[in-house]
Amino acid sequence: MKISFIITTYNLPVELLLECLNSILQLTLRPEEREVIIIDDGSDLSPLEDLLEDCGDIIYLRQPNAGLSTARNMGLRVATGDYVQFVDGDDMIIAAPYEHCLDLIRFRDPDMVLFHISDSVNQQTSFTYQGPVTGIQYMQDNNLNGSACGYIFKRSILGDLRFTPKTLHEDEEFTPLLVLRAQRLYSGDCSAYYYRVRKNSIMHKKTEKHHLRRLADTERVIYRLVDVAAKLPEDKQEALNRRIAQLTMDYLYNTIRLTHSQRHLGETIERLRDRGLYPLPDHNYTRKYQLFRKLIDTKMGRGAMLLLVR
């Protein structure tokens, strides 16, 4: 068994990148059981010299700045491990809970192991899990966390699937399509990945231009998933449609939260209606989904959310 850790970085402080690397190197994986690949997406200054002082056992590749999707795709091209774990260079693996996930890899031969992402490094090590189930079954019965850093997956199930270049929210398209390919999926209750919230990161920019780009890219992802779902067998279509409904709900909520514009919300709803995505499907996915569906379907509910959501 060998795991390829694909780390992406762009203009990160080298201290954060070293913390990320050390969190991987300190796992109970022998050198032959891990492959650490750093993809530098055209940083202004290469961190290679600083990295080699502390961590010689890495593969470092540098590309012209082309975005996260292209960087991850490059990592997938060179990865040779049986399994793959994506890691953003400013985040970290949380050792104790992640070791439980590694045990599933060692002893259960999964296609995927899902775990939780946390904004705290202090996590309990207790561990329960469910599985194996197929990815189809999992998506039919559960909401899905779209982050590509929230799971380990067997490289052989990837096939021709890759990230769509030059888009935000690329995980939201990649992850459900990957999960649908899994025949043996385990989901653990542990938080094994530390997501560092940084004010100047791409996902936390506050400009109106960036907000509108995030929303536009999300809408395009939803439409691409709809096009894929239309060509799938019935069971896969049902599973992916649940994810599309969840993502559409999140998209409408973020349209309210990021624009606070009745006009913008109305125009968004009309575009979704034209694609058969509004009103939201009448399914009892979760209580939150049912409540939001009722609110967004009425003028009064939409008005209340525009006033109250911040």
pLDDT in tens, 132-177: 999 999 999 999 999 999 999 999 999 999 999 988 889 999 999 9
Contacts of 271 (CB under 8 A, 6+ apart): 219
Ramachandran region of residue 238, left (φ > 0), alpha (ψ -120 to 50) or beta? alpha
Cis preceding-peptide flag for 132 (omega within 30 of 0) = yes
d(CA 60, CA 258): 37
Residue 128 has pLDDT above 70, yes or no: yes
Angle between helices 68-78 and 170-179 (to 10 degrees): 40
d(CA 78, CA 76): 6
How is residue 37 written in tokens?
């690949």
Residue 302 has pLDDT above 80, yes or no: yes
pLDDT digits (tens, 9 = 90+) for 46-92: 888 888 766 668 999 999 999 999 999 999 999 999 999 999 999 99
Q: What is the pLDDT of residue 48?
A: 83
Q: What is the pLDDT of residue 52?
A: 76
Report which secondary-structure segment, H or E, holds 212: helix 208-229
Give the three-class secondary structure for 7: strand
Helices (H) and strands (E) in the chain, counts: 11, 9
% of residues, the chain, pLDDT over 70: 96
Beta carbons within 10 angstroms of residue 193's beta carbon: 26
Q: How far is CA 248 from CA 219, 278, 285, 292, in A?
A: 8, 9, 13, 11
pLDDT digits (tens, 9 = 90+) for 34-49: 999 999 999 999 888 8
Cis preceding-peptide flag for 110 (omega within 30 of 0) = no
Beta carbons within 10 angstroms of residue 226's beta carbon: 16
pLDDT digits (tens, 9 = 90+) for 168-207: 889 999 999 999 999 999 999 999 999 998 565 555 557 8
Q: What is the pLDDT of residue 207?
A: 86
